[in-house]
Structure 1
Amino acid sequence: MTSSALRIGEPSLRLRLRRAERGQRLKAFALVLPLLAFLALTFLVPIAGMLWRSVEDGEVATVLPRTVEALAGWDGRDLPGEPAFAALAADLREAREAGALPAAARRLNYDVNGYRTLLTTTARRLPSPPEPGRAAETLLDISPRWGEVETWGAIARARGPLTDFYLLAALDLKRTADGTIVRAPEDTAIYLDVFGRTLGIGASVTLLCLLLGFPIAYLLAALPPRRSNLLMVLVLLPFWTSLLVRTTAWVVLLQSEGLVNGLLVWTGLVDEPLRLIYNRFGVYVAMTHVLLPYMILPLYSVMKGIPPSYMRAASSLGASPLTAFRRVYLPLALPGVGAGCLLVFILAIGYYITPALVGGGGDQMISYFIAFYTTETVNWGLASALGAVMLLATLLLAGVYGRLVQGRSGTGDRGL
């Protein structure tokens, strides 16, 4: 009787357990839901907006709809026919009367320098209405540039609603009037060099932080708690000071009449002050100082969890201190190395204030150009494209680095 009752009640107990587990999962999800919503609003939505702006292209189609429609089947090899000239003349008259011409002029000027002046001048001098069948002749009389294929190619490339113009420009590429992708002219092909400079500075600063931060983190993990806590306060002390103040302090220290040059001259190491500021050296020094704590903290958190008995066991088995460190300690500390390097590298490639204050004209990173196109020229498309390319490059490098760290960690574990 009792056994039968237990068998009958077993499904009910199992059902109650499932409900309890489901309720716990729902409560846990409800607790993290505000954080997820915050991340979505402050991280995912801005990134999605940036990616959309890098391919959005609707200004010209809105202002010059007839012209865009007339160029829909144009091959880009020869000048378009009379209907395209007539459509452009009609669109320019209406856009000038409505005050909508500056939007299209600004977008086309991104592609071909001087297009803003060409559109405004043509719209101002265009007769109203032009003689039927003579739109091409009228426009060519106003400006010979309407007889160039590339002038019409700029309108065709901006017909929207989506475009690869900004992404190609971020890679020093462009499309010709017939759709062929070619290298941008030498005077405008600067972004690949800037990307390379940004990644190079980020990698160099990451390496300097690792070389300086690893021994400090090792010392913090090996010292007794009372001493390590005191030293940790010194590591965290820079966080209590503004980034702008710390960067400006390096300007004072590294200038020609600053403390560093004064000590070098006073000790006789140099005869005259060195140029330590407004160059790459100043950028490395200031960025390494700012980002060093971000390397020490992940290293310390991992090293603190490595038992000292592992090194003693390796020594008791005949391993030298260097071999024990290389075969035992370093593989166990590798996750901290990977986390610290990724954190410092990602922060470094996005720096703007420090290179702008202590670097020269050839030391500016991609963030400087993104800020320039956002605030100065209001070219949101190119600024978003530069950000999108940098985001993609960072994700690829992070993925490759993560695989390398995982592979080396696995190799080290098997070697033990």
Structure 2
Amino acid sequence: MPASVHANTTGLPRETAGRASYNKAQRRASVQALLLALPLIVFLLSTFIAPIAMLLARSVQNHEVAGSMPALTQALNAWDGRDIPGEPTFALLASGLKQAQESGQLGAVARRLNFAQPEFRSLLMRTARNIRGDVPKAWKPALIGIDERWNSPEVWRLLKRAAESPTPDYLLAAMDAQVTPQGAIASMPANASVYREAFVRTISISATVTLLCLVLGYPVAWLLANLPAKTGNRLMLFVIVPFWTSLLVRTTAWYVLLQPGGVINSVLSGLGLATHPVPLIFNRTGVLIGMTHVLLPYMILAIYSVMKSVSPVYVRAAKSLGAHPFTAFVRIYVPQTLPGIGAGCFLVFVLALGYYITPALLGGAGDEMISQLIAMQTNTQLNWGLAGALSAYLVIFTAIFYFLFNRIVGIDRLRFG
């Protein structure tokens, strides 16, 4: 038998060549797809992933003292933390304060230490001002003479902790905890506890807004899905138009409507339903109204996209078999829309967790969400470490919620349109 016939009969050379050609084509297609997506990947890494990673890294970084006074940092790392350090460490403190002041970094060091103890900034500034003169024979008595607090081991322990990097201090502070001078972890006093209540408040407000959006959005989505196509498309414009309006503008509009002399209170007074202005703003009511209005379209669109694919045949069949219309709706129609309900609830809840503008404008003193506290730490307090720690906990909670929601409902089975 000729060799060519044998090769065609067994098919091995041709099969091997075909497989190699197929694999080569697959690799070429994968490379082309990667090259097409490469600009988007670079854009996301540089403008989204990298900034978030840098902010989260701030939650454990502690470079102010170590970067400004490296020699003092090494001496403090070797110090046992019992009694006050010796003369060499005092001398390094004096030289470090001089260098930090000359380089313009003393303000950052003082601000970082002031987070640990509010009086630390004045201590450093006063000490730095008084060591500009002649060099004394011994720095230890000289610095203690400038301020008696340098004779306290607790002050030096705080300075030692502030020089350590990475540090858990910011992560502990974000949970209203701190490290005691003895090295144990203790909760902050009740009058100084802020962030745990803020996290609970954020979750509570987000869950309430999600429930309100579901109650208000489900009937609207059902109406849009069951109206004639022409009428439904026209009414859908009222759901989509808010996306064309700035979030700040919509929130400001509610600010005008809800204030004591606003439209709503004027109407209530004109109808005789209220003898004095109803408090609708600068409280939880204003926050819930504003956030529900902003997030309601997400719930409607998520449920509507699933309702459009539900065939009315099943409900009609249930009615023809004797089921009450309400029973047919609850037991036949609603279960088929659960993917849309799950998608809408997940989307609204996650978006509500990070809301900032609406609670800031419509809420009161007891309605701060965690995003407002993060903004305050970055814009006012300039405490990027604590802001990073709060952001890290918010990201962790969102990831946990996603995992639990995926296990219970199944994100991969939800339809987002």
Q: TM-score, normalised on structure 2? A: 0.90
> Structure 2: where are the runs of 5+ without partners?
none
Q: Shift of the alpha carbon at 1:156? A: 1.0
Q: What's 2:301 paired with?
A: 297
Q: What's 1:5 paired with?
A: 8
Q: What's 2:229 paired with?
A: 225
Residues 126-158 of structure 1: CA distance to partner in whole angstroms, max 9, x if unpaired? 3532223xx332222211222233311221112
Q: Shift of the alpha carbon at 1:81? A: 3.6
User: What is the SS of the residue equivalent to 1:227?
Assistant: helix
Q: What's 2:37 paired with?
A: 32
Q: Distance in 1 between matches of 2:342 and 2:370?
A: 24
Between 258-267 and 210-219, report the one with greater CA deviation. Answer: 258-267
User: Which residue of the other structure, out of 346, 355, 363, is the alignment partner of 1:359?
Assistant: 363
User: What is the SS of the residue equivalent to 1:363?
Assistant: coil
Q: Distance in 2 between matches of 1:46 and 1:29?
A: 23
User: What is the SS of the residue equivalent to 1:174?
Assistant: strand
User: For residues 149-164 of structure 1, what are the structure 2 equivalents within 5 Å?
Assistant: 149-164=153-168
Q: Distance in 2 between matches of 1:75 and 1:176?
A: 16
Residues 61-110 of structure 1: CA distance to partner in whole angstroms, max 9, x if unpaired? 12222332222144444433444333322322333344432221121112
Q: What's 1:284 paired with?
A: 288
* In the alignment, structure 1 residue 54 sits paired with structure 2 residue 70: no
Q: Distance in 2 between matches of 1:77 and 1:183?
A: 23
* In the alignment, structure 1 residue 93 sits paired with structure 2 residue 79: no
Q: Shift of the alpha carbon at 1:229? A: 0.7
Q: What's 1:108 paired with?
A: 113
Residues 340-382 of structure 1: CA distance to partner in whole angstroms, max 9, x if unpaired? 1121112212111111211112112122221122122222111
Residues 112-138 of structure 1: CA distance to partner in whole angstroms, max 9, x if unpaired? 102111111112213532223xx3322
Q: What's 1:128 paired with?
A: 134
User: For residues 17-416 of structure 1, what are the structure 2 equivalents within 5 Å?
Assistant: 17-126=22-131, 128-132=134-138, 135-406=139-410
> Structure 1: where are the runs of 5+ without partners?
411-416
The aligned amino acid for 2:219 is P
Q: Distance in 2 between matches of 1:36 and 1:94?
A: 43
Q: Distance in 1 between matches of 2:31 and 2:318?
A: 47
Between 267-276 and 324-333, report the one with greater CA deviation. Answer: 324-333
* 1:165–1:38 Cα change, 3 Å: same
The aligned amino acid for 2:125 is T
The aligned amino acid for 1:128 is D
Q: Shift of the alpha carbon at 1:209? A: 0.7
Q: Shift of the alpha carbon at 1:274? A: 0.8
* 1:87–1:304 Cα change, 3 Å: same
Between 209-218 and 22-31, report the one with greater CA deviation. Answer: 22-31
1:338–1:402 contact (8 Å) kept in structure 2:
no
1:77–1:178 contact (8 Å) kept in structure 2:
no
* 1:38–1:207 Cα change, 3 Å: same
Q: Shift of the alpha carbon at 1:4? A: 4.5
Q: Distance in 2 between matches of 1:49 and 1:186?
A: 32
* 1:97–1:185 Cα change, 3 Å: same
Residues 253-285 of structure 1: CA distance to partner in whole angstroms, max 9, x if unpaired? 112222211221222222222111111111111
Residues 179-234 of structure 1: CA distance to partner in whole angstroms, max 9, x if unpaired? 21111244432111111111111111111111111111122122221111111111
Q: Distance in 2 between matches of 1:227 and 1:240?
A: 21
* 1:399–1:321 Cα change, 3 Å: farther
* 1:333–1:41 Cα change, 3 Å: farther
The aligned amino acid for 2:137 is E
Q: TM-score, normalised on structure 1? A: 0.90
| CA root-mean-square deviation | 2.3
Q: Distance in 2 between matches of 1:386 and 1:32?
A: 33
* Number of aligned residues: 407
1:175–1:182 contact (8 Å) kept in structure 2:
yes
Q: Distance in 1 between matches of 2:358 and 2:8?
A: 75
Between 78-87 and 225-234, report the one with greater CA deviation. Answer: 78-87
Q: Distance in 2 between matches of 1:24 and 1:95?
A: 57
The aligned amino acid for 1:39 is L
Between 79-88 and 252-261, report the one with greater CA deviation. Answer: 79-88
Identity fraction in percent:
50
Between 98-107 and 354-363, report the one with greater CA deviation. Answer: 98-107
